[in-house]
Chains A and B, each alone.
Chain A
Amino acid sequence: MKSDIVLSGVGGQGILSIATIIGLAAIENDLFLKQSEVHGMSQRGGDVQSHLRLSGKPISSDLIPYGKADLIISVEPMESLRHLPWLSKSGWLVTNSTPFINIDDYPPVEEILKEIRKIKNHKIIDADAIAKNAGSSRSGNIVILGAASNYIDLPFKSLENAVAKIFEKKGDEIAEVNIKALRAGREA
């Protein structure tokens, strides 16, 4: 088993939570894992990415080579395109359709979606709306993870366990809402 995942978004959108959840699920399944994170200056509203590598065998590099990612998971549509050179020609791109606009020259969303649709294996969902329906407008990142879970070779139950575990500190209610968001994303 090998799954090389590029996570992308804007600083503060919760991509590290996605990474943590997949990481926990990977450990539950005794997989090797490397997860490269972005800290520091770029976290202030800039574009951020994280490389997450899961494998049944030991992993060499902390970074995914260009053209080798099996999956791009993006919580923001324009950011999903920024990391395309990493995506394998047979890889999947799963992205939120709701833009995060904090720059003046943000392009029309339709132009971005048009580019995304040029990738053969793509999935575009309105994670913000789905999250709201599931009961928490702040769980868009978990919805996206749910949608991407179809393309990660991990038991869905392990992801649910991991979501429960990282939100348990915040109370049962919040944990349940997030599991609901994860399921809603998977079915979207």
Chain B
Amino acid sequence: MQKLLLLGDEAIALGAIDAGLSGMYAYPGTPSTEIMEYIQSSKEAVERGIHREWSANEKTALETALGMSYAGKRAMAAMKHVGLNVAADPFINSAVTGINGGLIVVAADDPSMHSSQNEQDSRFYGKFSFVPVFEPSNQQEAYDMVFDAFDLSEKFKIPVLFRITTRLAHSRAAVKRRSPEPEKPFHLPSDLRQFVLLPAIARRKYKALLSTYESLKYDNRLSKYNFFRDGKNRKIGVITCGIAYNYLMENFPEGGPDFPVLKITTYPFPKDIIKDLTRRCEEVLVLEEGYPIVEEGLRGILDNNLKIIGRLDGAVPREGELNPSIVAKAVGIKSDPLFKVPEVVKTRPPSFCKGCGHSDTFNAIIEALKPYKSDGVFSDIGCYTLAALPPYSIINSCVDMGASVTMAIGAADAGLHPSVAVIGDSTFTHSGLTGLLDAVVKNSPVTIIISDNGTTGMTGGQKSHATGRLEKICEGLGVAPEHIRSIIPLRKYHEDNIRIMQEEFDFKGVSVIISTRECIQTASRRNKAESSENKGKD
């Protein structure tokens, strides 16, 4: 079969298409976004009519995928790691209900927080939910594992978690394709009570889940990916998880290390494979991206005095992603002196694009707040979070999707005035709606500014559910129509926009200001596409 040069994200997407996927559900989030984008632009996906529309958030994405699984078809939901927090409720409960058609949930973790608020380790969710986890170490494995993950999911009637990290998600390598499998036929679950988690049913299902979790670790679809490589040097043995294996092997280009190595890429795994390594070696080094999950487990299950080293004792840094150099140091390879970065090099943080509508919105907000001696506004997650940096330095929060609205309500309750939230359009429909409803119900004196650029900008310009709907949504939630104000963030309306903001700051109830101007990036892409289309017509 043909070989393709694919990102880890794309390898998972293509694996899903070739394994008979019928529905893909996701909310954009770095580093997971390209999974859905690949499926959206795939010719095969279009021809087969694979469902591939963005969801409002990760929770709705996972629930919709579960609905497709209910009807017997294979479904995938993809999100960044913190997205799995949003989807945690259906994720954990879907393990209890079990599935019908194969269900894969992909969580893309971002250790070192290249584009995230934390570096939580999604493998934790696997253990927490009693769901098997695949953690591919390279692009080919990512592709191949999708087939086994769907099969495993259907055999054990359980959702499967795919955990990847930034470097695999966003790194390209050649992937060999298999012949595609047909989609599964529509068929409802044989037990229609399966998805009814009334306590009596849930207790029975939970008990079954615990026993499934114990038995699936011996299944070949999981165990064949865990690999033991023996070595003569018994002073040390190394356990690698996921891509840590590559960083280890990188340091032994000629024939590999002389000590035993256990490569783990699926969970749960039987204790025996760990013991194969531990009973041979004087000490064990654990290399894993993210949290010291295996390391902690190892410290728990071993009753001898084996020395265990890893993130917990400082042999590997406690936080941040791994790389070949960190691993080299941990296995005792000395490094040569390096060039240093000269002092003349200054930091270059990301900034608003030239002509970005958010920047004009914030310029107006800064002016409008001056008479109130305000310390700033609550904000949210998106490009507009960059207003935390100079020269704006006006936002005082970025916690989770939608938190600007609800934090503004709480702070208003405590006496803050004006209590202002600035949230993007896509973030608002992701998780701001329910907070706004809270504000309406208690008539909270807050001003919610929706900085609407008509897209999900930070992740590269995906379709926003809010576009063209914001006024009606706010009105439908009960905001008084006269306090839903629409402005255009352009220099020429600067004075008007300040006045409108101040009018609403002075209003002792819920007001929403919708500040709409198309993202400069999507606008320029649209203009280019339109001009080349027009050229085609000539």
Give chain A's interface residues, CB within 8 Å of chain B: 10-11, 23, 27, 32-47, 51, 59-68, 78-79, 81-82, 84-85, 87, 89, 102-103, 105-107, 111-112, 115, 119
Contact = CB atoms under 8 A, between A and B. Distances in A.
B414 interface: no
Contacts of A82: 341, 345
A37 B9 CA distance: 12
Contact of B325 (A23, A65, A106): A65
Given A38-B170, A81-B345, A112-B344, 5 more contacts: A33-B173, A42-B350, A60-B249, A81-B344, A119-B339
6 closest pairs, A vs B, by CB? A40-B30, A40-B115, A46-B350, A65-B324, A62-B171, A61-B250
A120 B212 CA distance: 62
B82 to A, nearest CB: 13
B171 A34 contact: yes
Given A32-B174, A41-B30, A60-B250, A102 B351 contact: yes
A116 B532 CA distance: 41
Contacts of A84: 338-342
B323 interface: yes
A56 to B, nearest CB: 12
Contacts of A107: 344, 346
A19 to B, nearest CB: 8
Interface in B241-258: 243, 245-251, 253
B336 interface: yes
B459 to A, nearest CB: 7
B167 interface: yes
Nearest to A111: B344
Nearest to A80: B345
B172 A33 contact: yes
B121 interface: no
Contacts of B88: none
A50 to B, nearest CB: 9
Counting chain B CB atoms within 10 Å of each CB, the highest count among A42, A44, A89 belongs to A44
A105 B172 contact: no
Contacts of B33: 39
Contacts of B34: 39
Contacts of A46: 348-351
Counting chain B CB atoms within 10 Å of each CB, the highest count among A42, A61, A64, A103 belongs to A61
Interface string B169-204: 011111000000000000000000000000000000
Contacts of A102: 348, 351
A65 B350 contact: no
B486 to A, nearest CB: 26
Contact of A81 (B31, B167, B324, B341): B341
B341 to A, nearest CB: 6
B247 A60 contact: yes
B339 A106 contact: no
13 contacts: A27-B174, A36-B167, A36-B171, A40-B458, A42-B350, A45-B350, A46-B348, A62-B167, A62-B171, A67-B338, A78-B346, A85-B341, A107-B346
A103 B31 contact: no
Contact of B250 (A33, A42, A65, A79): A65
B7 interface: yes
Counting chain A CB atoms within 10 Å of each CB, the highest count among B30, B250, B350, B459 belongs to B350
B493 interface: no
A44 B344 contact: no
Interface in B4-34: 5, 7, 30-31, 33-34
B324 A63 contact: yes
Nearest to B252: A60
Contacts of A62: 167-168, 171, 173, 243, 246
Contact of A34 (B172, B251, B352): B172
Nearest to B137: A60
A135 B481 CA distance: 55
A62 B324 CA distance: 9
A39 B31 contact: yes
Contacts of A111: 344
B335 interface: yes
Nearest to A107: B344
B5 A23 contact: yes
A111 B386 CA distance: 29
B87 interface: no
A182 B227 CA distance: 45
B383 interface: yes
Interface in B306-358: 323-325, 328, 335-336, 338-342, 344-353
Nearest to A79: B348
B459 A23 contact: no
B115 A89 contact: no
B290 to A, nearest CB: 16
B125 to A, nearest CB: 22
Contacts of B352: 44-45
Contact of A11 (B30, B253, B346, B350): B350
Counting chain B CB atoms within 10 Å of each CB, the highest count among A35, A41, A66, A119 belongs to A41
B476 interface: no
Interface string B221-250: 000000000000000000000010111111
A44 B172 contact: no
Contact of A37 (B172, B324, B350, B460): B172
Counting chain B CB atoms within 10 Å of each CB, the highest count among A27, A40, A63, A87 belongs to A40
Counting chain A CB atoms within 10 Å of each CB, the highest count among B31, B247, B347, B348 belongs to B348
A73 to B, nearest CB: 16
Contact of B339 (A59, A85, A103): A85
A27 B5 contact: yes
Given A33-B174, A44-B352, A39 B324 contact: no
B109 to A, nearest CB: 13
A38 to B, nearest CB: 7
A42 B350 CA distance: 5
B275 interface: no
A105 B349 CA distance: 12
Nearest to B4: A27
B114 interface: yes
A108 to B, nearest CB: 9
Given A33-B172, A45-B351, A115-B344, A63 B458 contact: no
A79 B33 CA distance: 27
